[in-house]
């Protein structure tokens, strides 16, 4: 798991970071899935920008495929983050991310109970008014906005890496 510190929900970079999370790690068309899973380095990969009242994290994670070292997997994951810093996503890639964000946002309000949950959540982390502007703001995100956000936030000084490495049979016997 790799995470980068990101701003609070009220910051205008939230919208490009939400798109960046989708581009990097949501679904089979995401960069992490294509590079890591289809590249046989990982069995799964995901990423998302978590938005809260206080600054929080954009989180990317992957599970190493059998025989793949965590060092190799981490390097490949970071290479995809670096690629977003170096060049903006293609317009088609961003359009797909926008549609995913819009669909996720709309489907999360598909019942009275779900809408009430969202209203309560967003009032707790910022304001319920966030719900009234989110779709418009996501639509305005450009490829350069995503690249600029990646350049600003996907940097080593804002990054924390966590690893889970199971003990092998020999280590378990020793303990």
Per-residue model confidence as pLDDT tens digits over 141-175: 999 999 999 999 999 999 999 999 877 765 555 44
Could you tell me if residue 171 is inside a domain? Answer: no
| CATH code, 119 | 3.30.830.10
Could you tell me if residue 131 is inside a domain? Answer: yes
Could you tell me if residue 174 is inside a domain? Answer: no
Q: How distant is the alpha carbon of residue 131 from its chain centre?
A: 20
Could you tell me if residue 153 is inside a domain? Answer: yes
pLDDT of residue 21: 97
Compute φ and ψ for 126, nearest 5 degrees. Answer: -175, -85
Number of domains in the chain: 1
* DSSP state for residue 53 in the 8-state scheme: S
pLDDT of residue 96: 96
Q: Which of 66, 54, 59 is nearest to 18 (CA)?
A: 59
Could you tell me if residue 173 is inside a domain? Answer: no
Could you tell me if residue 169 is inside a domain? Answer: no
Residues ≥6 apart with Cβ < 8 Å to 160? 2, 3, 4
State the CB neighbour count (10 A cutoff) for residue 93: 18
Instruction: Read off the pLDDT of residues 92-129 as tens digits, 9 standing for 90 and up.
Output: 999 999 999 999 988 888 899 998 998 998 888 888 88
Judging by beta carbons within 10 Å of its beta carbon (0-12, 13-18, 19+), is residue 120 exposed, middle or buried?
exposed
CB 49 within 8 A of CB 17: yes
Q: Which of these ranges, 29-38, 43-52, 54-63, 162-171, has the smallest mean pLDDT? A: 162-171
Q: H-helix or E-strand containing 59?
A: strand 56-64
Could you tell me if residue 170 is inside a domain? Answer: no
Whole-structure pTM value: 0.90
> Domain range spanning residue 127?
2-164
What residues form DSSP beta bridges with 62?
Answer: 45
d(CA 56, CA 45): 20
pLDDT of residue 170: 56
pLDDT, average across residues 62-84: 97
pLDDT of residue 110: 87
pLDDT of residue 108: 85
Could you tell me if residue 172 is inside a domain? Answer: no
pLDDT of residue 167: 75
Instruction: Looking at the chain, list the stretches that DSSP marks H as alpha helix, in order from N- to C-terminal side.
Output: 14-25, 31-32, 70-86, 91-107, 112-125, 130-140, 143-153, 169-174
């Amino acid at each position: 798991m790799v995470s980068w510190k990101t701003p609070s929900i009220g910051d205008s970079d939230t919208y490009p970071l939400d798109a960046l999370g989708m581009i990097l790690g949501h679904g089979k068309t995401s960069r992490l899935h294509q590079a890591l899973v289809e590249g046989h380095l990982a069995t799964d990969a995901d990423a998302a920008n978590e938005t809260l009242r206080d600054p929080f994290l954009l989180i990317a994670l992957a599970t190493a495929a059998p025989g793949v070292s965590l060092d190799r997997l981490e390097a490949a994951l970071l290479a995809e983050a670096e690629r977003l810093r170096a060049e903006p996503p293609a317009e088609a890639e961003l359009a797909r991310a926008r549609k995913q964000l819009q669909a996720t946002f709309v489907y999360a309000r598909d019942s009275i109970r779900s809408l009430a949950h969202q209203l309560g959540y967003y009032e707790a982390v910022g304001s319920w008014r966030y719900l009234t502007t989110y779709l418009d703001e996501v639509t305005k995100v450009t490829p350069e906005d995503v690249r600029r956000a990646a350049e600003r936030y996907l940097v080593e000084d804002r990054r924390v890496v966590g690893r889970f490495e199971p003990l092998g049979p020999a280590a378990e016997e020793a303990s």
